[in-house]
Amino acid sequence: MPLTYTVDVQGDLIRVVGSDIVTAMDVSDHWMRLFRDLEAMRMGHALVDVREAELRFTEAQMMHLTRTIYAPHTANRQFRLATLVRDEAQFLIAKQLFNVADLNRNHAVFYEVDEAMKWLNQDEHSDSS
């Protein structure tokens, strides 16, 4: 599986790691597993690390998955998502996906883990994003 996740209950965090080639089907399968996991769905934050992955999907494929799988499962939740990327190409893919899907308010893209964790945890102390 090119996308795996663990649940950190104490940290209120889902950690997702991407490796190898990640296709739209891989994302679909991952989201379907994740959204059926009741423990994971109680978490308020997710850190998605795709730095070691090769993202191979089209904008149209991801928009379809985002609108049909991701958005319906996260629409009524206070949920923050930080994506870790290795380069500008991954950065642009991540930003474009969530901007077009109108999910940008609770999503940010980072190159460094420390920055991502700081942003994820800031909602506990501040309403700004």
CB 82, CB 110: distance < 8 Å: yes
The string of pLDDT tens digits covering residues 55-99 is 998 888 988 988 899 888 887 787 888 999 999 999 988 887 766
User: Would you kindly state where each structural domain of the chain is located, as residue ranges?
Assistant: 3-124
CATH code linked to domain 3-124: 3.30.750.24
Mean pLDDT of the chain: 87
Provide the whole-model pTM. 0.87
C-alpha to C-alpha distances, 120 to 13, 14, 123, nearest whole angstrom: 9, 11, 7
